[in-house]
Amino acid sequence: MPRLMGVDIPNDKQIQYSLTYLYGLGLFRAREVCEKLGIDPITPASDISDEEVGQIAALLERDYLVEGPLRRQVTQNISRLREVKSYRGIRHRVGLPVRGQRTKTNARTRKGPRKTVAGKKGVKDLR
């Protein structure tokens, strides 16, 4: 099982699909990496030599923002939004949807389980 940038790449899949296990690398970029290095994208990951694994790792380090550095950049962007107290930063801090989705209904993933509030049960109008 080849290891790239701290992630185990599955052996039984084609290299183009195995590379998508890296955070920030989709199918398009995976094929682009294979093309740049002259590796056949449908080659199984188990058939990739150690030299080719080293070439892939060097190319990803040099030309692409993937795994740790990308996660760090995303986290820094969110913390910057929180610090300047922008609308998006406040939504991140409060744990509500950030991109304008409705919250009257739905949004359960961001809001968490329902918090039931007791209603006014049995209160009669004294007129």
pLDDT digits (tens, 9 = 90+) for 82-116: 999 999 999 999 999 999 889 888 888 888 898 88
pLDDT in the model for residue 125:
62
Asked if residue 127 has pLDDT above 80, the reply is no
Under the banding of pLDDT at 50, 70 and 90, the label for residue 118 is confident
The rounded distance, in Å, linking the Cα atoms of 48 and 3 is 11
The rounded distance, in Å, linking the Cα atoms of 59 and 62 is 5
Q: What's the pTM value of the predicted model, to 2 decimals?
A: 0.75
Our CA angle for 78, 84, 90, nearest 5°, is 60
* Stretch 51-74: mean pLDDT: 92
Name the residue with higher pLDDT: 127 or 37: 37
The average confidence (pLDDT) of the chain is 89
- DSSP conformational letter for 8: E
pLDDT in the model for residue 4:
85
pLDDT in the model for residue 56:
92
Strands (E), the chain: 3-4, 7-8
